[in-house]
A and B are shown apart, each in its own frame.
Chain A
Amino acid sequence: MDLYPSDTEEAVRAASEAYLRDHIPLNAARLRPDGIWTDMAAMGWFGIALPEDIGGVAMSHGAEALVLAELGRYLAPIGTIAMAVAANVAIATGDQALAMDILAGTRRVALGLTEAGGQLRVLEVRGANMVLVTGDNGASLYDAPVDWTINDCLDPSTSQAIIALPPKARIQTTGSRAANHQRLVAAAFALGCAEAARDMAAGYARVREQFGRPIGSFQGVKHPCADMAVRCSAARAQLLYAALTLDSAREDAAFQIAVAKRLADAAAIGNGRASIQVHGGMGMTDECDAHLVLKRAHLLQFISPVSTAMLLAA
């Protein structure tokens, strides 16, 4: 038993982090360049746990969680979640060609939230030609409608549309594997989000001065920052543990992943709010990045949410 990343895992994580820092900084989350999907595909981020012969990276879900948490930290496009899950769904149905297109970034998958009353809210719709809907009983990939109306979203890094559920899926899987995978990937994004808020707040508290001292020296600021670190630490340990239960197909994988999502969501929201408070008046402004993190946290809450019943089952 060892929850410490191996040298290879750490190298892949570090390379991803370096790319993100240089090419998609958090403060540019509102305007991602068009070429980003090809670049992200080239980094292998849509198929970290998939075989090499179809364009995957052939690592574990543990490594996937480790890397996608970095993407989450830079508020990488939310559609990455759909891409990573859809590639697995395509493999599961034997549609290798589709999987390869997704991994190469030439086919773009938008993320459908759970449908209600025949209506489906879809995220990251700009430029997408397919829609993924994942539930606890299976996953479906639909061809995107040609005439969707693209709207803004609370999270300004993405776009959304409300569509009628298409009559027929292009491919479909049954069982809970895709749902567990999507929940894990979304949890990784949420952890990254929580860590971004923590680091942003701590960074500001180290340099911003009031009463002649950095505000981070005051316990009224230091302690909320420490609480941010505690929430991140619990969510990170649980995320990596949960990811590994998926790798070894353990019976408790669904529960462990649900716990990871619940804690990562709570950390992202809690830290998002605390970070704005630490930033003071600046934190309320549109030009400060603190709100981007909070808004992303709220969006992630609705992706594979965890019910009380799921945690209390068994």
Chain B
Amino acid sequence: MDIDYSTSEMHFREEVRAWLAVNTPKEPRPFDGTEGRAFDLAWQRRQYDGGWAGINWPTEYGGRGLSLIEQIIWFEEYARAGAPFIGVCFVGVNHGGPTLIARGSEDQKHYHLPRILKAETIWCQGFSEPGAGSDLAGIRTHARIDGDELVINGSKIWTSYADLADWQELLVRTDPNAERHKGLSWVICDMRTPGITVRPIRLMSGQIDLCEVFYDEVRVPVENIVGGIDQGWSVAMSTLGFERGTGFIAEQVSLAAHVEQLIGRARETTGTDGRALIASERLADDLATLRAEVTALKAMTYRTVSEVARTGTPGAEASIVRLYTSELSQRVARCEIGMMGQTMLDFSYGMKDPTHRYLYGFAQTIAGGSAQIQRNIIGERVLGLPK
């Protein structure tokens, strides 16, 4: 066991820091979808031009091919520089691209991978359905084969950026008679295909980046299937595996910085009784606990990354880090609105303030496998409890 970085890793950190200092956008990301889209694409393109796109992708596909430790360093510096969330490029860079690298055909890789890295195309994820959110194997959107085309009917929901996306990683049922996990296919779907209707959904935070997508006789070439027909479940699982990798580190570093801001604010802000907020024992204890928890989160991430570096797989422990991160993030948001007092009422749709962060934060224990599902996974795969 060793917590020190090697000399070359420290040099790498300096290189990253220098580049980010010059290139990180100074202005905040616009709230609005279309402006946000332009902002995200410009930032992704700047990273590509600087040689920093697809940091975990192999170099032969235009990525940077960084080691796990280098990825940690990149994300730590990324968060420290206040660099923006990847936004609309998330699915392409973190799900779709890596899935194509692992399971795609040469033609699929050759066409899509450079476009994703250069921010020429936006991807969205079509996995969840109204009747199949946490129960992914229960999806009903189906595709029948008609010549060299799939004909898709059904609907998807909770699709981030579907209204802005060019392509979708779409999970459909191609064999209605097979077992639940079998008979699914993972398809690359052009979002401009006739028969697709997108309905944006407004969240309680005012944000509109999730959508419902309807498919009415949508025709997609059979050659757009990735990893073979009826093999969709295993392809989808490899996609979700990427999601649980190092991509969360930036979020964790930001969370730690956020807690430090709250501690600073609690020291500087005076309450109605004329004393600093931190003089409240209860608030001080909450902040101390949050600081301890974000510190441990960093250690947990290092530990998971060390495990992956040694054994090649994160194991079910990744679900623990995932659950801990999402719930901790909500505790931080709750502490923050608690410090705001009545001013949390001064909120209207379109504002990006702590109240927005609190409201939007409810998604964290729901999206991408709910907290309940994560607890089932931990209970069954870490502790060996029966299903």
> Contact at A223–B288, with CB atoms within 8 Å?
no
Tell which of A213, A237, A312 touches B299, judged by Cβ atoms closer than 8 Å. A237
Which of A9, A230, A256 meets B295, CB within 8 Å?
A: A256
Interchain Cβ contacts under 8 Å between A and B, 12 examples: A222-B379, A225-B379, A229-B382, A230-B320, A234-B297, A234-B299, A238-B299, A240-B1, A240-B303, A241-B303, A259-B291, A311-B288
A233:B320 contact, CB within 8 angstroms: yes
User: How many angstroms between the C-alpha atoms of A120 and B46 in the bound complex?
Assistant: 65
Beyond A1-B72, A229-B383, A263-B296, 7 extra complex contacts between A and B, CB < 8 Å: A2-B306, A202-B383, A202-B385, A229-B379, A234-B299, A235-B296, A237-B299
A66 to B317 alpha-carbon distance, docked (Å): 18
- Asked whether A214 is an interface residue with its Cβ less than 8 Å from the other chain, the reply is yes
**Chain A 219-231 near chain B by CB (<8 Å), digits 1 or 0:** 1011101110110
Contact of A263 among B278, B292, B307 (CB under 8 A): B292
Looking at the assembled complex, report how far the CB atom of B15 sits from the nearest CB atom of chain A, in whole angstroms: 17
Report B-chain residues with C-beta under 8 Å of the C-beta of A244.
Answer: 1-3
User: Once the chains are docked, how many angstroms separate the CA of A213 from the CA of B386?
Assistant: 9
Closest to B290 in A: A311
Q: How many pairs of residues, A versus B, come closer than 8 Å at their CB atoms?
A: 151
C-alpha gap A234/B325 in the complex (Å): 11
Cα–Cα distance between A9 and B306 once the two chains are bound (Å) = 15
The answer to whether residues A229 and B3 also contact, given A3-B299, A308-B288, A311-B288 and a CB cut-off of 8 A, is no
Cα distance A25–B72 in the bound complex, in angstroms: 41
For the complex, is B20 an interface residue (Cβ under 8 Å from A)? Answer: no
Distance of A205 Cα from B378 Cα, bound (Å): 14
A202 touches B69 (CB 8 A): no
B-chain residues with CB within 8 Å of residue A240 when the two chains form the complex: 1, 299, 303
Q: Is the CB of A308 within 8 A of B1?
A: no
Interface size on A, residues (CB 8 A): 50
CA distance A4 to B302 in the complex (A): 9
- Given the interface contacts A5-B1, A222-B375, does A312 sit within 8 Å of B387 by beta carbon? no
Q: Which residues of A contact B5 (CB under 8 A)?
A: 1
- Could you tell me if A229 and B386 are in contact, using CB atoms closer than 8 angstroms? no
Are B385 and A205 within 8 A (Cβ)? yes
Residue A216 at the B interface, CB < 8 A?
A: yes
| B3–A241 CB distance below 8 A | yes
CA distance A214 to B297 in the complex (A): 32
Q: Are A217 and B288 in contact (CB under 8 A)?
A: no
A1 and B4 form a contact (CB under 8 A)? yes
Say yes or no: B3 contacts A245, CB within 8 Å.
yes
